């Protein structure tokens, strides 16, 4: 069923025209340079830094390794306060560094980590806070930084969802100590797989470059036990071309989202997240809450009926990371500690959204949701 040509998936990758990729492939085949900071890697790194308005950026083969290595480079140890409402890679990166996650509840409106609940979780073992800009909605970075400065903590932002989000007055990717981007195939901007780490100075960027290339300083000198996190030339070529089409994709998604908002606001039992004051949203996701009943039953009913119609929404993020087997034993993972996050996880549903989604299909999806709930 999932392979049907008339299926509507939660997202579709926004890929550049194939004919534009051919000259890049020919050049790769001609030079035989496939990886190790090849010419396309370096061009993409420069173009991406300019597009994002940052000076220091490191490309990676995926966003998870960028986060794992970023934590290493900052020498984070002990405990890190983070959100349970994210993709598990966020917390897995902590575990791979032998760091214990401490889960903090989230805000009702933004679905981001709740700054008002961070301080009560800080102990002598706490070394950092790791928030997530969920669905591309910016965290309360000012409040989080105030707390971090007060207690001498690092701040690591999982910024996988905020590609193209423009703040009024500041660059969101320069908040905290580092920010991590993901270019996975499900993301607004993709290089098939891929990711990046944004930092604030050249010395830190160079340290990351060593760590993502096995720790090599030069041909014979290893500075530290690094790992292989490099982005290859094919990914970089796709990235160069994808930068040319991402603004158009955001504009198309905005139009589609506005149709969704207009139709969904009329349906009782549906909560929207379309308040974008203070920033220009990237329309990477279309999350809604199904607020009918006291459990996940109504949300799952909508999800399953849509699926039977070959419409593949996503319960994103469900289950909570704190309810996954590797983390269930943690004291901070208890439902009592995370009432808002658990309630949201039982009701969240991300609807299909991509630039080529037709208005006709948006109407169809909304009519189905209306008929199920009403």
Please tell me the predicted confidence (pLDDT) of residue 1. 40
115 lies in some domain = yes
Least Cα distance to 288 among 255, 257, 309, 310 occurs for 257
Q: Is the pLDDT of residue 3 over 80?
A: no
Within 8 A by CB and 6+ apart from 176, the residues are 141, 144, 145, 148, 154, 155, 156, 157
227 backbone dihedrals φ, ψ, rounded to 5°: -145, 170
Q: Read off the pLDDT band of 5 (50, 70, 90).
A: low
pLDDT per residue as tens digits for the range 51-63: 999 999 999 999 9
Q: Is the pLDDT of residue 4 over 70?
A: no
Handedness of CA 267, 269, 275, 280 (dihedral sign): negative
DSSP codes joined into one string, 207-247? HHHHHTBTTBSSSS-B-S---B----HHHHHHHHHHTTTHH
Pick the last residue of a domain from 212, 242, 272.
242
pLDDT per residue as tens digits for the range 308-337: 999 999 999 999 999 999 999 999 999 999
Please tell me the predicted confidence (pLDDT) of residue 6. 85
Handedness of CA 151, 152, 153, 159 (dihedral sign): positive
Measured CA distances, 239 to 22, 162, 188, 257 (Å)? 14, 16, 12, 25
Structural domain count, the chain: 2
Pick the last residue of a domain from 207, 242, 277.
242
135 lies in some domain = yes
Q: Residue 329's domain spans which residues?
A: 246-373
CA dihedral 57, 63, 69, 71 (to 10 degrees): 100
Cα distance from N-terminal residue to C-terminal residue, the chain: 27
12 lies in some domain = no
- Cis before residue 363, ω within 30 degrees of 0? no
Same domain for 109 and 224, yes or no, is: yes
Q: Is the pLDDT of residue 371 over 50?
A: yes
User: CA-CA distance, 314 to 130, in Å (whole number)?
Assistant: 24
Same domain for 195 and 85, yes or no, is: yes
pLDDT per residue as tens digits for the range 332-353: 999 999 999 999 999 999 999 9
Same domain for 184 and 312, yes or no, is: no
Read off the CATH number of the domain in which 316 is found. 3.90.1150.10
Least Cα distance to 369 among 271, 252, 295, 282 occurs for 271
Same domain for 172 and 286, yes or no, is: no
Same domain for 316 and 356, yes or no, is: yes
Read off the CATH number of the domain in which 67 is found. 3.40.640.10
4 lies in some domain = no
Q: Is the pLDDT of residue 11 over 90?
A: yes
Rg of the chain over Cα atoms, rounded to whole angstroms, equals: 21
Residue 175 structure tokens? 């908040």
Same domain for 112 and 66, yes or no, is: yes
Same domain for 254 and 196, yes or no, is: no
Tokens 């990235």 belong to residue: 239
Residue 111 structure tokens? 């679905």
Decide if 117 contacts 337 (C-beta within 8 A): no
52 lies in some domain = yes
Measured CA distances, 131 to 14, 114, 188, 259 (Å)? 27, 9, 20, 30
Same domain for 49 and 170, yes or no, is: yes
pLDDT per residue as tens digits for the range 277-292: 999 999 999 999 999 8
Reduced to 3 states (helix: H, G, I; strand: E, B; else coil), residue 251 is helix
8 lies in some domain = no
Reduced to 3 states (helix: H, G, I; strand: E, B; else coil), residue 291 is coil
Over residues 100-104, mean pLDDT: 98
Q: Considering the entire predicted model, what is its pTM?
A: 0.96
User: CA-CA distance, 277 to 225, in Å (whole number)?
Assistant: 44
Over residues 116-131, mean pLDDT: 98
Strand partners, 156: 178
Same domain for 79 and 221, yes or no, is: yes
Same domain for 256 and 291, yes or no, is: yes
302 lies in some domain = yes
Within 8 A by CB and 6+ apart from 18, the residues are none
339 lies in some domain = yes
User: CA-CA distance, 119 to 107, in Å (whole number)?
Assistant: 15
Please tell me the predicted confidence (pLDDT) of residue 209. 95
Pick the last residue of a domain from 224, 242, 260.
242
Reduced to 3 states (helix: H, G, I; strand: E, B; else coil), residue 128 is strand
Residue 186 structure tokens? 């499900």
Same domain for 256 and 317, yes or no, is: yes
Same domain for 234 and 339, yes or no, is: no
Q: Lowest-confidence range among 75-89, 131-145, 291-305?
A: 291-305
Q: Is the pLDDT of residue 64 over 60?
A: yes
* Mean pLDDT across the chain: 96
């Amino acid at each position: 069923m999932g392979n049907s040509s008339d299926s509507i998936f939660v997202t579709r990758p926004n890929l550049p025209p194939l004919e534009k990729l051919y000259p890049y492939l020919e050049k790769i085949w001609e030079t035989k340079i496939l990886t190790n900071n090849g010419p396309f890697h370096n061009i993409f790194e420069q173009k991406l830094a300019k597009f994002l308005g940052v000076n220091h950026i490191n490309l990676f083969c995926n966003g998870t390794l960028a986060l794992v290595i970023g934590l290493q480079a900052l020498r984070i140890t002990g405990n890190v306060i983070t959100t349970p409402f994210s993709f598990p890679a966020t917390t897995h990166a902590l575990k791979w560094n032998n760091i214990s996650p401490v889960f903090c509840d989230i805000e009702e409106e933004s679905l981001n980590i709740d700054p008002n609940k961070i301080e009560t979780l800080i102990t002598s073992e706490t070394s950092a806070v790791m928030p997530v800009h969920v669905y591309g909605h910016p965290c309360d970075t000012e409040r989080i930084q105030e707390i971090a400065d007060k207690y001498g903590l690092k701040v690591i932002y999982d910024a996988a969802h905020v590609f193209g989000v423009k703040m009024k007055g500041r660059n969101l990717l320069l908040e905290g100590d580092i920010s991590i981007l993901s270019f996975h195939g499900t993301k607004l901007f993709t290089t098939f797989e891929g990711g990046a780490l944004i930092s604030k100075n050249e010395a830190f960027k160079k340290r990351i470059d060593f760590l993502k290339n096995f720790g090599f300083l030069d041909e014979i000198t290893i500075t530290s036990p690094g790992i292989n996190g490099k982005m290859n030339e094919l990914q970089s070529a796709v990235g160069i071309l994808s930068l040319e089409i991402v603004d158009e994709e955001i504009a198309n998604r905005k139009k589609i989202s506005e149709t969704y908002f207009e139709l969904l606001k009329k349906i009782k039992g549906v909560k929207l997240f379309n308040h974008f004051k203070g920033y220009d949203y990237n329309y990477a996701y279309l999350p809604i809450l199904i607020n009918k009943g006291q459990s996940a039953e109504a949300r799952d009913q909508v999800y399953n009926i849509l699926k039977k119609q070959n419409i593949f929404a996503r319960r994103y993020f469900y289950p909570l990371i704190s309810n996954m087997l590797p983390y269930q034993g943690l004291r901070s993972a208890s439902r009592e500690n995370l009432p808002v996050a658990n309630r949201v996880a039982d009701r969240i549903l991300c609807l299909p959204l991509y630039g080529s989604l037709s208005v006709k299909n948006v109407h169809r999806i909304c009519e189905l949701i209306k008929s199920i709930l009403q």
